[in-house]
Structure formats: structure tokens, C-alpha cells
Structure 1
Amino acid sequence: MRNESISLLSGISLKCAVLTSGLCFILSCHSGDEKKKYDSWTVTGGTKENMRYSSLKHIDTNNVDRLTVAWIYHSEQQDDRRFGPMQCNPIIAGNILYGVSPRLKLFAIDAATGIEKWSFDPADSLQNKTWTRRSINMNRGVAYWEEGDDKRIIYTVGSVAFAVNAVTGRLIPEFGTDGGINLHKGLDRDEHTVGVTPTSPVMIYKNLFFLSGLVSEATPGHIRAFDVKTGEQKWIFHTIPYPGEPGYETWEDTTAYRHMGSANSWSGFSLDEKRGILFAGTGNPTNDFYGGNRIGHGLYGNCVLAIDALTGKLIWHYQTVHHDVWDMDISSPPVLITLERNGKKIDAVAQSTKTGFIFIFERETGEPLFPVEERPVPTDSEIPGEQLSPTQPYPLLPKPFARQLLTEHDLNTLVSDSSYQDIKKRFQSYRSTGMFTPPGTQGTIILPGYDGGGEWGGPSVDPETNILYVNANEMAWVLNIVENKPDKKNTTQLQAGVSLYQRHCMSCHGPERLGSGDYPSIVGIEKKYNTRQFSELLSTGRRMMPAFNHLSKEAQHAIAVFLLDIKSQHNLPYTGHIESMGQKPSYGSTGYNKFLTKEGYPAISPPWGTLNAINLNTGEYEWKVPLGEFEALKEKGIPTTGRENYGGSVVTAGGVLFIGATADGKFRAYNKRTGKLLWETALPAPGVATPSVYSVNGKQYVVIACGGSKWGGPSSDSYVAFGLPD
């Protein structure tokens, strides 16, 4: 592994150096334990409340423009610049920084210098093990646990949860089987038909850790607890309820618990350690855009959940979208805060969403702390069998932080007249009546888009002021519903492959296999994969693509015959079943398609990305500014437009908010009180990750993973740390 040391920084705080030990003790006591816990970054998000706040203030509004690179760590050995995006929020324990590379190698480095201590490559362990085949997916962080000399990192790679010695970088053999546990087991489903690939870090409470994760469409997103020492599964909370469990009655299909998938907490958790309450947000049940086979509200899809961390028993829930057919998953962990109301402090939970709403609840009861109205929404679906919810919840405060309706007056006028006329014509052919417009075959505007509004980076909150900072996307997408053709008897391999592709692959890769949204074209895939390699890809998944183990071998082979264009097998008989799980949807979508101009800009008027400051005590906005820019538009004198952004912010006691996230590859610092841009710098590649803030020997650092983005352009394997010069 390589380390580039640029202006390596060390030293101790001058302020502490001149203070007597007595004065230091007084200052420490004055700050209190509550403030002191925000000095470190031992947990993803800073603390288990997920506030992404640091009480460090050596770097402040007066000196942030003097930041320089302290060190750069390259997390891969190969000199290969085509790495996948990194979304990891690294943690720091005992002056050691732990993070994950683009190819999911776990590493430990000196947090002050970036010099490597050790690295662990899961590929070396997975080759000859019985856990499962390797699946390369995103990783947004790891978890640290210690008891005496026993210090562990718990992290996931595909469908395996590993326990790695935090000092040596070696697997802990007494955990699970030789250091890992197969997450396909323990779900009450055939382990060969499910796919579980957690992307967010586990949460740890005492000797338990909790996970859910990205799942295949036939896999339930149940939340589970495991013993941190042994890997034994201790409890399971059914996000698709079983008979006799609360929420079971919200499914018209009484067998949904046997075959329905998702309702998963892929974005991670927050934890109230004092009360022992685990908080989670969930996504919608499968499939994303057609609910005719899952009629009802479908608990616990699209819910904020409060669960007893020791027992797995539900304490309360709140559903933010009923019968979701717009892919409006809860995309970030809840944030635990303490609000001021009429002179009293109230422990609360704040949940940002893709819809642009922020829901705020009392922590123990789940009662909304701002009024929420159930408002009538359109239900005139043209799709047979669909039964939409007649109402949806609308918080009255805070107001949405992203636009929720696209009209002709909101179209992009920065482009040429011919380009404007093109998007106007297309818009007039779509249906756009607001956020809960029923999906249809003519094309439905989705705004906020599939990536929000709010995304997985989530908000940061300053506990001193209760101001919440959240970055938002303002990108319209177009949803087109298509009918899946019924099964055919005596069908050929090619016919079966086409039908299976339409059911399982078209929503991501499009009807012409040209890709859509953030998903790549697979035209010409036969030049990259042979039959064996393609079969392994379907079995393991890769990055954003989940495993398809729920499909039979016959079904996987038929898809290969179609996509790899194996002409010698086109007309051979297909002997498997196209329907591979319970009730399959009769309708699907043509893919994730952004509404763009001919030039590739969003068809909606700017801003296209924003940074928002909201006072949670009052529900009112403090400020809103565009986040990100297009250099080509800036050169034309067009004011900052904002851009798509992924990854969150960090706010500090020094008055500074740090954020990368944007497609333009900049790292920025804002004045948290005013929203004024104080400093920016170019990263080696876009930092679509949340920064971490920490201190070593009295010196403050801010570090961000710079792996590149989903939009193409430069990629990197680097973690870059910044600090003030000595």
C-alpha cells in the first residue's frame, strides 16, 4: 500500500500547552460528559445518535481557509484508477483510523500520518470457505468493539459478516465459522434462494450487533441481532410480519411473510444507549413500482421503527409512505436529538426522507412533535390490480427541503430554445400531479427523484442549537410502467431469457439494455463474460447489483443465453419456471430514467442540489444555498446551480460545516450560521462519502474517502485528510 505524505502535521494544541492541569480539569468539567463524547469519531456518524457533529473547534470560521492536505492514503495496491465509488465514513479508535477500500479491503492506518498498520483482504478468506461466494458491494463503514484486550472490527462483505482483530488485522476464529458468518442463514427461507448484502455498518449495543441490508427481491429485510463474540444469531424482527404479529393484518396477501421481499433497513441504524432502543428506517416491499400483489399498507415497509435492542420487540413504528409504489425508501438512519419545547427538553428522533419531508417524533412513544396531516392523494391508477392508498402523511413543519411538484413553469430555460421545446414536448406527454402521482404507462414524473430529496448521507445536527443541515437532490425522473408478458409453455431458452430479463433486469438496465439512471449499459456484455463468469455474477452480485440466488439455475442460464447471445442454444427447450417466487408482479418498469435536456442537464430549473439549515426547535429554515456547480455554466456567467450529491455533511463547534458529496469533485466548508462558503478544494475524485472529524495529540483533522462517483469521471482509491499548518 502507498502513502503520500504532503505537509505531514503533528503537534499539540498551544491552548492546552499553556494551561495548568487544574485549569484543564475545570474546563473539562465545565464542558461535561455530553460534550466530551462529541470529541471523538469511534462510530460511523460520530456517535450512535448519528448526529455527525464534532465538538472540536481548533478549525474554525477564521482559519478554515488555511487548511492543507495532511496526508493521503491509497487503499489499493494496484495502480488501477478505475475503482468503484467509496462511501465509507471511517472511524478512529485509539489514534488508529479504520476504513474500507473500493474493493472492500479493511485497513488500519495511523490517524495522524496515514501510514498503514495492516490491511485485510476478504478475497483471501472467501476463496476456500463455505460462508458464501464473494459479492462486491458498497461499504459505508465499520464498527469497533472492545472488552479489555479483545478489540474487534465488525464489518460486512457481501453476505458475510467478519470479525477482525483490530490490532493485528487477522480474523477471530471463534467468531462464527473461522471468523465469519453467512448472512443467508437464519431468515426462515432457503438460504440458497436469498440474497443479503449489507452496505451500511452494523450497530453495536453491549455484546450485540444489529444488521439488515440490501436484499434481493425474494429476500425479506428482517432486522437481526448477533452475538459480537460468537456470531450467534440472538433475535430477529420480522419487517414482513408473521401470523399473530402486529402488522400482519396490513397485508391482504396472508402468505406475504413466506415469499415477499425487501422492507429492509439498508441505510443503517441509530441507538439510544441509555434506553436500549434501536432505531431503523425501512424501504418498500417488492416490487418498487407495482403493488397489485401486495395490496394494503404493508407494514413494516417505509417505516421508522423503535425496537428493544435486547429483545427485538417492537416499541413503536411510524409509516412515512403508505403502499409505496414510487421507491421512496427511508434512505438514511434516524437522528437522535434533544429539542427545546416550552422551556423543557424532549428527547426526539428526526428522520429525513427521499420525499424531502422531515418527520420528528418523541423518542419513547413515537408521537409526532410537529403536526402531521393525512391528506387525500390521487388513486386513479390505470394499472389493473393496483390499489393505491387514498391518503399520505404530510408533516406541517418543517416545510419540505426539496421540490415535490414539477410544472411547465419549472422547466429548465438555461438551454437553447430547441432543447427547451424538446423537454416541454416530452413533459406535456407525461403525468405530473405531484409527489404521489399514480404510476402509469404514459410516463410519470417522479419528484423528488429516486435519489431524493434526502439520500443515504443523511443530515447533520448541531446539538447546541438544534439546527439540522441536510443536502438535497432536485432531479426529476420518469417512470414508465410496462406489462410483463405471461409465462409460456414449451418456450425456448431465448424466449425464457427475454421474459426473465424483463422481470428481473429491465428496471435497472432498460428495455434495450442501454442502461438507465446510474445503471450501466450491458450491450456487448458477451465480450466481457463467458457463461461461467456470468453465472457467478448472477450468483454473487456486484456493487449496486444484488445477487439473484432466488432464481433457479435454469432461469439464470436462460438469462445468460439471451444476454450473452449464445445462438447455439436459442431454440433449445426451456425446462424451468419463469415464475421463480410465489406471486410475481404482472407489471414492471422500463428503468431508472432521469428527465434530462439534450445537453445532459436536468430538465428542471435550478437549483439541482441544495444545502439546507433547519431549526428543529421551531421547524423554520435558517438558510438554503445551492450545493455544487457545473464549470461550463459557471464560465457562461450563470450563477451556481447546484448538482446531484451523495454523502452527508459534518458540523463542528468551530462554526464550520464540511461536505464533499457533489459530482464536481469539490470539498467545501461553509459557515454553519449563515451558509456562506468559506473554503473549497478539488479532490482526487468526487468524495461521495461523509467526512470524519477527529483529533490526535491535540491536532484536529477532517478526512474524506475520494473514490469517485456514479456519474463517471475520475475515480480513486484515496482517503484525504486535511489539517491546519503548524
Structure 2
Amino acid sequence: MSRTKFLFALAPLLLQLAADSPNQPRGVPTGRYRDWKVYGGGPDNIRYSALDQINRDNVGGLEIAWTFDTGDAFPDSEMQCNPIFIHGVLFATTPKLRVIALDAATGKLRWSFDPNEGRKVYGKLRNRGVAYWEDGEDQRVYFVARHYLYALEAQTGKAVSSFGDSGSVDLRQGLGRPPQDIFITASSPGVVYKDLLILGSLVSETLPSAPGYIRAYDVRTGKLRWTFHTIPHPGEFGYETWPKDAWKYSGGANSWAGMSVDQERGLVFASTGSAAFDFYGANRHGDNLFANSVIALKAETGERVWHFQAVRHDVWDRDFPAPPSLVTVKRNGHLVDAVVQITKSGHVFVFERESGKPLFPIEYRPVPPSEVEGEILAKNQPFPLKPPPFARQVFTEEMVTKRTPEARQAVLDRLRKVHTGGPFEPPSLEGAVVFPGFDGGGEWGGAAFDPETGLLYMNSNEMAWILRLVGQPKAKGRPSGRNLYLRKCASCHRQDLGGTPPEVPSLVRIGDKYTESEIATIIRSGSGRMPGFAYLKKAGVQAIARHLVSGKDSGLVTETKSLFPLEQKYTMDGYNKFLDPDGYPAVEPPWGTLNAINLDTGEIAWKIPLGEFPELAARGIRNTGSENYGGPLVTAGGLLFIGATIHDKKFRALDKATGKLLWETALPAAGNATPATYEVDGRQFVVIAAGGGKWGAPSGGTYVAFALKRSN
């Protein structure tokens, strides 16, 4: 056994020996977890509430207390917000990224703030919530729209004029790249520690891309207070895991899923995504710290305390998809403060909070090398030995759908033409199965933790995808509109413009939907998961738009100088789900699950299918599970609330001890968001955003709050 493996395996024993309190009981301190002031419930991001007015015995009596239609839904729009509750007010966002303040008892609008300032909204805009800070009467709401961080007065919704430049900070500044060429935003809200707002980012997943630095801003002035370089600069820890000058041109390694804060210890915990480009890394040889990592930083200064990298040199888009959860686990009768991180691959990593030592052994296993020119993969990757994966890991012929004989045979025929080696199967020109797929396993909805029982809850997708690399056209001289499209757009929209609808739309006849000018605006600014391409300048953007509208090449254009030293030889052939000919998953059910894991023992407590396809259920094919986005909420009332399922639009309450369904209702659109709960005047409410819009599902823009019927 190597020294690294030995130390990781020994860590749990050392932690047990270090514990000094006998047989500590679990429990929730009086007064804790009764608010919902932070995205995810609190700074520890465990999605738990001590409210218990709604419980196992009476949850069947839930009724709609109020609804609020934002009026902002449009085709394919989404609403992923987990609202926060402050002083009787619910603060949330809309599909068009307006911030709204609602009376939490009635749902009546108090104010709204529109960052678009009347501009037309194009494409999907994703936002999962806002952050809040107060100092006496100075109460502020923070959120990000496009590349601006805004500070608003909580009482009025007006921009705080003393913050940044008349109420906003330009996130493109201070990254060491030309600001006008950068695409950056934030889909998850920042976290507050004392007088700092600590913020991650969403950046392009293709090159060129902005670096995903973690930054802290003064909550009063908007001044940048510290920066942690997730792509290390010369002399910084991890610099040697990249090519010499990578910090000048590489991008990604960004904390897009949110963070958690240990207020007492002064530590902020961030999880990061992959480096750009997601699927081919010949320009970034090495392990690429701090991509795909859990990082503990001193919240006051941004100094690194410890880190763990779950994927070395990622070429599978295996971002950490959710914020770290700050939990307590029991070891040999003693409570240990810990950090839990779920993954897209369906694994759970558990670390001691101060030291980063794993609480369950981690084994480094050899993985296959790449056969693609220029690619050098890591020789081994880490696997936790406990808990077991909460999603299946290898797609075999025995797991092929049996929905119909024709569907099964079609899937078998395709499966036998691609690589199916399991976790860390290298991307290839023939195609490789990624299972669980690019959307997990775990996703951005994150995990819920019950401090009363030590159970961790997470929903999971069980969909296979196919990752195939294709050659990039070489850049010779000045490129044309068609050549720019192939190099910049075809990795998602495919070389034939067909895309992978509904998530990545077809661009065939796009001119019937948008004008050339509107298409240019979308290319320049981005839409949904598509980054902006402002760095192509006006001529490059217009050339692509003209090509898409006319279907003809547009001649030569002037392109900005390449921002990276190695021409990218390969890109991917779109985001391709592995489906049968009828559009259903190629793998046998369950296609989505809800899971409970005992973190004290590292064992799965229960697992159930989550969601259905209504048309299959009507034919007697029930409990298949379905894709799901948005996380769970666990309460002291013995309940687990979850929406998430994209096809049946259900909002469910389950017994948290067993997974038994206790109550469900249909929402006006799928609840692809994490619910929140709060109490006003002695009445407990549970609220969820019904935004839909995922994978072609109908869009909505309504917040729905539930409560027990008032007694006379």
C-alpha cells in the first residue's frame, strides 16, 4: 500500500482516538434551524428545518396557502430559486432574473427589481437565489444578473448607491483578462461571513474561458477584499499541476454550485467544477488543481486550509455539482464535525471539517489511458470505499431497457458500438458511455442532512449519455462564419446545426424565430448554459449570425488573437443522452431515485424511485423514476419534501425514516428547485418555485406556498 493510501485509510481511526467526549447524543440546540435566511436554509447548507407544525400525522391536510405568478415565464424558461425568509418577507428571483420581495404570509408583492432595465430577454436565465446581510437598519439583498453583482435595499428594492458603481460591481474586472472579452456570471448566490460576500462564478466551459477564481467583496462598498486563484499563479500551491503559463490562458475550475460557511471556525467551503475545455485537456496537462475540488479557506483572508481533488485532469465534466454540506457524524460514540460532498458520479465524500482528513477510507485506483492524440490522463483516481455509490456505475448489456423488444434491440445495437468501461472511461472518437451522465448522479439541488438522525438525503439521475470527440477544423488564416461556427458552436449544437433538443436547441431555420441582430445578441451575451462569445468581437459574432440565418458561408472575418497557445484538436459531438428510439432512457429503470444514507455507518438506509412519465404510468408502467432537478428539504416533523421531477410535476412529502409517500400534489409546472420552509405568526409554510422548462417540459413562473388549514 502506498503512503498516501495508508494515510487516507488510517484517518478514520485517528479521528476516533482523538475524540474526547463519551457517547455524545444527537440533538438540535434550542432555537437553531427555525429560520431560512440563507440559500440552502443556513450557512451550513444542510436544507434542514426544526419546524414541526407540519408532520407525519397531519401532512395529508396541506393546502395551498397562496400562489404568486411572476408573469415572467416564457418558452423554455426556468426558475431554480430557493427563496430566503427574512423578517416576514420572502426574497426570490423570477425566470427573467427580477428580484422580488413577497409578504411571506400572503404572497403579495412588496417590490421588484429588474436588472434588465426593460431590455428584451433572450434564452434561459438561471438563478438559484439571493444572499442577505444586515447591520441594524442597514439591510441588503445581493444577487447576480449577467456579469453584475447587485446590492439592493431590502426594504425598498432600490440599488444601494454606495455599493460599487451606483449599486453594482462588474465581475469581469480583476481576472487578468480583457474584461470586454469575458463571459462570467453566477447562478448560485454567494455566502456572507461578517462583512464579506464570498462569491463563485459560472464561466464558459469552452476555450477561451475566464478563470473561476473565488472572490470576497466588502458588503458595504463592493470593494474586492481577497481572491483565491483556483488556477494557481507562480509560487502558489498547485501551480506545478498545470503547464507553466496556464494561469494566463486557462479557464474554469469555478465554484458555480454554491458554498457553505462555518461561522464559528471562520471557514468557507467551496466546491469547484472542471477546467476548460471540459472534454479535451491537451492544453492543460497535469492534475489541474483546484478544479474538481472541495476547498476549505479562511473566510477572512481566502487562505487555503485544506483541499481534496475528486477528479484529476477532468475530461468528463465531473464538476462538483452541489455545495458542501456541514454536518456532524458519530464515530465510536463521539460527534465529529464534518464536510460532506456529493458528486455527479453518485459518490459521497466525508471529511473532518478542520483537517480535511477523510472519515471513510478513500482508495486510488488505476484508470485507463486515453487513445486520443495529445491527451494525457491521470493514472489513477480516488474512490470512497464508504458510503456505497447512490447511483449505478457501469452500463452493461444486462441493464438495457426491456420496455419493448424493439427498443431493447436498438439500444443493444448502439451500445455495442461504443466504449462501456465504466467510471473514467476515456472520451474517444468512437464514443464512450458516461454513466451516470453529465447531469448526475447528484446535481445542483444538493443534499439535505438531518442532525437528529445523521441521515443524508439526495436525489439522483440515472441516465446514460454518450461522449464522442470529433476533430476541430484547423484555423488557417482568417476564419469564415462557417469555420467559426464549427470551432465555437458545434460542440453543443453539432456540425449539422441539429443540436440535441430540447436542452440544446436545433439551429436549423433559426432565422424563422430570431432576426440576425437578435441572434448576434444571444451569441455575444450567452443564454442558459451557453456562454457569451464577446471575445469574437463584432465581426466574428455577425459572421456566425449571418451564417445561421442564410445557411451560406459569410466570407473571411477578422478574429481576435488566440488566448491559448495550443490549437484545440478535438471538440465533442454535442450533449447526447443515450435514449431508445421512442425517446425513453436506454437503461432499465429506475431513471431517477431518492436516497437516504446513514453517515454514522456509511450505509444506505433506503432508496426509492423518484418520479414517473405520466404516459407510461397510464399504461401501467409505474415507479420508473425520472430525471430530477432541485433538491430535498428535511424537517423535524419527520418529513422529507421534494419537487424536482421534470415530467409528472409532482410535489411530494415522504416519511424521512422510510421513504414512504405520505402526500403529493401537482404543481402548475415542474418544481425544479429546492423548497424552503418558514413560520409566520405561528403558521408553518412550505414554498417551492414551479418553473419547469427543463428538457422541453412546459415552463412556468409561479411560487406556490402550502400550509395546514387554519383552525377556527
Pairwise TM-score range, normalised by the shorter structure: over 0.9
Change in Cα spacing, 1:693 to 1:630, as seen in structure 2 (3 Å) is same
The CA distance in 1 between the partners of 2:551 and 2:406, in whole Å, is: 43
Tell me what 1:10 maps to. none
Aligned mate of 1:521, from 506, 521, 530? 506
Tell me what 1:227 maps to. 218
> How far did residue 550 of structure 1 move?
2.8
> How far did residue 566 of structure 1 move?
6.8
The CA distance in 2 between the partners of 1:575 and 1:102, in whole Å, is: 36
Q: Contact 1:291–1:386 (CA<8 Å) still a contact in 2? A: yes
The CA distance in 2 between the partners of 1:583 and 1:225, in whole Å, is: 32
Paired letter, 1:431: H
Aligned mate of 1:667, from 622, 634, 651? 651
Paired letter, 2:91: Y
Aligned mate of 1:687, from 651, 661, 671? 671
580-589 vs 227-236, greater mean Cα deviation? 580-589
Q: Contact 2:459–2:592 (CA<8 Å) still a contact in 1? A: yes
> Is 1:74 the equivalent of 2:66?
no
> Is 1:534 the equivalent of 2:519?
yes
Paired letter, 1:684: P
> Is 1:725 the equivalent of 2:705?
no
Tell me what 2:633 maps to. 650
> How far did residue 124 of structure 1 move?
2.1
> How far did residue 578 of structure 1 move?
7.8
The CA distance in 2 between the partners of 1:572 and 1:516, in whole Å, is: 28
The CA distance in 2 between the partners of 1:126 and 1:195, in whole Å, is: 19
> How far did residue 414 of structure 1 move?
1.3
> Is 1:94 the equivalent of 2:87?
yes
Aligned mate of 2:105, from 101, 112, 124? 112
The CA distance in 1 between the partners of 2:362 and 2:118, in whole Å, is: 50
Aligned mate of 2:335, from 345, 350, 358? 345
> How far did residue 557 of structure 1 move?
2.7
For residues 652-681 of structure 1, the C-alpha deviation after alignment (integer angstroms, 9 at most, x for no partner) is 000000000001200001100011011110
> How far did residue 538 of structure 1 move?
2.0
Tell me what 2:541 maps to. 556
> How far did residue 153 of structure 1 move?
0.3
Q: Contact 1:459–1:648 (CA<8 Å) still a contact in 2? A: yes
For residues 390-433 of structure 1, the C-alpha deviation after alignment (integer angstroms, 9 at most, x for no partner) is 11101000000001100111100012x22211111000001001
Q: Contact 1:611–1:624 (CA<8 Å) still a contact in 2? A: yes
* SS, match of residue 705 in structure 2: strand
5 Å matches for 1:575-654?
575-576=558-559, 579=562, 581-654=564-637
Tell me what 1:258 maps to. 248
Tell me what 2:179 maps to. 191
Q: TM-score, normalised by structure 1?
A: 0.91
Tell me what 1:53 maps to. 48
> Is 1:85 the equivalent of 2:78?
yes
* SS, match of residue 29 in structure 2: helix
Paired letter, 1:673: A
Change in Cα spacing, 1:483 to 1:81, as seen in structure 2 (3 Å) is closer
> How far did residue 186 of structure 1 move?
1.2
Paired letter, 2:49: S
* SS, match of residue 124 in structure 1: coil
Paired letter, 1:510: R
> How far did residue 263 of structure 1 move?
0.3
> How far did residue 598 of structure 1 move?
1.1
For residues 240-294 of structure 1, the C-alpha deviation after alignment (integer angstroms, 9 at most, x for no partner) is 000000000011x211000001000000100000011110110110111111111
For residues 305-363 of structure 1, the C-alpha deviation after alignment (integer angstroms, 9 at most, x for no partner) is 00111101111110001111110000000000111111222110000000101000011
Tell me what 2:59 maps to. 64
Aligned residues: 681
The CA distance in 2 between the partners of 1:220 and 1:430, in whole Å, is: 33
Paired letter, 1:233: L
Change in Cα spacing, 1:32 to 1:288, as seen in structure 2 (3 Å) is closer
5 Å matches for 1:257-296?
257-296=247-286
Change in Cα spacing, 1:46 to 1:573, as seen in structure 2 (3 Å) is closer
For residues 485-534 of structure 1, the C-alpha deviation after alignment (integer angstroms, 9 at most, x for no partner) is 2112365xxxx222322222122212221222621111112223333322
The CA distance in 2 between the partners of 1:503 and 1:139, in whole Å, is: 28
* SS, match of residue 192 in structure 1: helix
For residues 152-211 of structure 1, the C-alpha deviation after alignment (integer angstroms, 9 at most, x for no partner) is 000111111111100011111001111111110011211112111100011111110011
Tell me what 1:11 maps to. none
5 Å matches for 1:246-645?
246-251=237-242, 253-379=243-369, 381-415=370-404, 417-489=405-477, 496-516=480-500, 518-565=503-550, 567=552, 570=553, 572-576=555-559, 579=562, 581-645=564-628
> Is 1:140 the equivalent of 2:123?
no
Paired letter, 1:337: V
115-124 vs 100-109, greater mean Cα deviation? 115-124
The CA distance in 1 between the partners of 2:130 and 2:698, in whole Å, is: 25
* SS, match of residue 632 in structure 1: helix
Q: Contact 1:215–1:546 (CA<8 Å) still a contact in 2? A: yes
Aligned mate of 1:708, from 692, 695, 705? 692
* SS, match of residue 230 in structure 1: coil
Tell me how large the CA RMSD over aligned residues is: 1.9
The CA distance in 2 between the partners of 1:247 and 1:240, in whole Å, is: 8
Q: Contact 2:76–2:693 (CA<8 Å) still a contact in 1? A: no
606-615 vs 572-581, greater mean Cα deviation? 572-581
The CA distance in 2 between the partners of 1:465 and 1:455, in whole Å, is: 23
> How far did residue 377 of structure 1 move?
1.1
Paired letter, 1:708: G
Paired letter, 1:716: G
> Is 1:172 the equivalent of 2:169?
no
The CA distance in 2 between the partners of 1:574 and 1:637, in whole Å, is: 57
> How far did residue 439 of structure 1 move?
0.7
The CA distance in 2 between the partners of 1:198 and 1:579, in whole Å, is: 25
Tell me what 1:16 maps to. none
For residues 187-240 of structure 1, the C-alpha deviation after alignment (integer angstroms, 9 at most, x for no partner) is 121111211110001111111001121112420000000001111111110000
> How far did residue 555 of structure 1 move?
2.5
Change in Cα spacing, 1:717 to 1:575, as seen in structure 2 (3 Å) is closer
Q: Contact 1:296–1:323 (CA<8 Å) still a contact in 2? A: yes
Tell me what 1:41 maps to. 36
Q: Contact 1:686–1:707 (CA<8 Å) still a contact in 2? A: yes
Change in Cα spacing, 1:175 to 1:577, as seen in structure 2 (3 Å) is closer
The CA distance in 2 between the partners of 1:124 and 1:440, in whole Å, is: 46
Tell me what 2:4 maps to. none
5 Å matches for 1:25-40?
34-40=29-35
* SS, match of residue 473 in structure 2: coil
Paired letter, 2:423: M
The CA distance in 1 between the partners of 2:471 and 2:63, in whole Å, is: 56
The CA distance in 2 between the partners of 1:507 and 1:136, in whole Å, is: 19
> How far did residue 572 of structure 1 move?
3.4
Paired letter, 2:660: K
Change in Cα spacing, 1:32 to 1:680, as seen in structure 2 (3 Å) is closer
* SS, match of residue 700 in structure 2: coil
Q: Contact 2:76–2:698 (CA<8 Å) still a contact in 1? A: no
Q: Contact 1:45–1:89 (CA<8 Å) still a contact in 2? A: yes
Question: Which consecutive residues of structure 2, in runs of 5 or more, have no partner in the other structure?
Answer: 1-24
Change in Cα spacing, 1:695 to 1:304, as seen in structure 2 (3 Å) is same
The CA distance in 1 between the partners of 2:554 and 2:160, in whole Å, is: 51
Paired letter, 2:475: D
Q: Contact 1:456–1:647 (CA<8 Å) still a contact in 2? A: yes
